[in-house]
Amino acid sequence: MLALLLVSANRLVLVDSIIRELWDDNPPKSALTTTQTYIYQIRNLIQRERLSGSGRELLLTKPFGYTLLVDQDQLDQDRFDHLVTRAEGFARAGQHEAAAADLRQALGLWQGPPLANVTQGPLLRSHVVHLAERRTHALELRIEADMHLGRHRELIGELRSLIAENPLHEWLHAQLITVLSQAGRRGEALAAFQGLREVLNRELGLDPSPAVQRLHREVLRGGRVLAIPA
């Protein structure tokens, strides 16, 4: 319950949502009473650990639910979103060094899968998926920023490692092909394309996308290879 209140910080969490998170579609008859007991225990925790600081009430009871008050940037997810949003602005303005710095700081907040130490119901599982997508987006933007800064050789090892973890992530393959070509390793770039084609065909029965095939043709011609945007 505390995790659910935190990921919805400063917003109303309906009692019905709490019950669904804790018991899915099979709540006991005591669900409402048990929910109220958990809220009481969280309030005791806040008081015992002196988390309120200023003395204001942090866990508010409202019609139909509860709201946990959290200051700006107290949660890692809020700091992460702030840094990524600022980095997106830097990237649009062509300030790739600043964008890369913010994105590294944002990604550094991650210490493993989100909420790994919490038993997750349907709402928390959905939130974890959303967070994972946000992290992937931030990682793509940071790779893109580093490529704008000419850090092609530095990216090769990282991209190979990411592809080993995400073999069907076509954009990562495309970036590996690009940085290998930019680093003067055209044979390895062509081999990377062949590896992508094989894994897509074997796992999904698909060919690489038209954008990646155009990238392949540029490598074959020995022309200037342009990265596919995130």
pLDDT tens for 157-213 read 999 999 999 999 999 999 999 999 999 899 999 999 999 999 999 999 999 999 999
pLDDT tens-digit series, residues 125-152: 999 999 999 999 999 999 999 999 999 9
Query: Could you say which of 83, 116, 149 is where a domain stops?
Result: 149
Mean pLDDT score across all residues of the chain: 93
Same domain, 14 and 42: yes
| Burial (Cβ within 10 Å: 0-12, 13-18, ≥19) of residue 9 | middle
Q: What is the pLDDT of residue 107?
A: 97
Average pLDDT over residues 24-48: 94
Q: What is the pLDDT of residue 50?
A: 84
- Give the number of domains in the chain: 3
Percent of the chain with pLDDT over 90: 86
Same domain, 171 and 116: no
Same domain, 145 and 181: no
d(CA 181, CA 215): 10
pLDDT above 80 (res 83): yes
pLDDT tens-digit series, residues 118-130: 999 999 999 999 9
Same domain, 110 and 135: yes
Q: What is the pLDDT of residue 65?
A: 96
Average pLDDT over residues 42-59: 85
Same domain, 111 and 128: yes
Same domain, 162 and 96: no
pLDDT above 90 (res 91): yes
Q: What is the pLDDT of residue 40?
A: 96
Angle (CA) 25 62 118, round 5°: 45
Q: What is the pLDDT of residue 230?
A: 64
Q: What is the pLDDT of residue 226?
A: 65
Q: Return the closest-CA partner of residue 172 out of 200, 150, 201, 149.
A: 200
Angular region, 207: left φ>0, alpha ψ -120 to 50, beta rest: beta
Range of the domain at 89: 72-149
pLDDT tens-digit series, residues 212-229: 999 999 999 886 666 677
Same domain, 165 and 196: yes
The CATH number covering residue 145 comes to 1.20.58
The CATH number covering residue 9 comes to 1.10.10.10
* DSSP H or E run through 19: helix 15-23
Other beta carbons within 10 angstroms of residue 224's beta carbon come to 8
pLDDT above 70 (res 20): yes
Same domain, 25 and 77: no
pLDDT above 90 (res 55): no
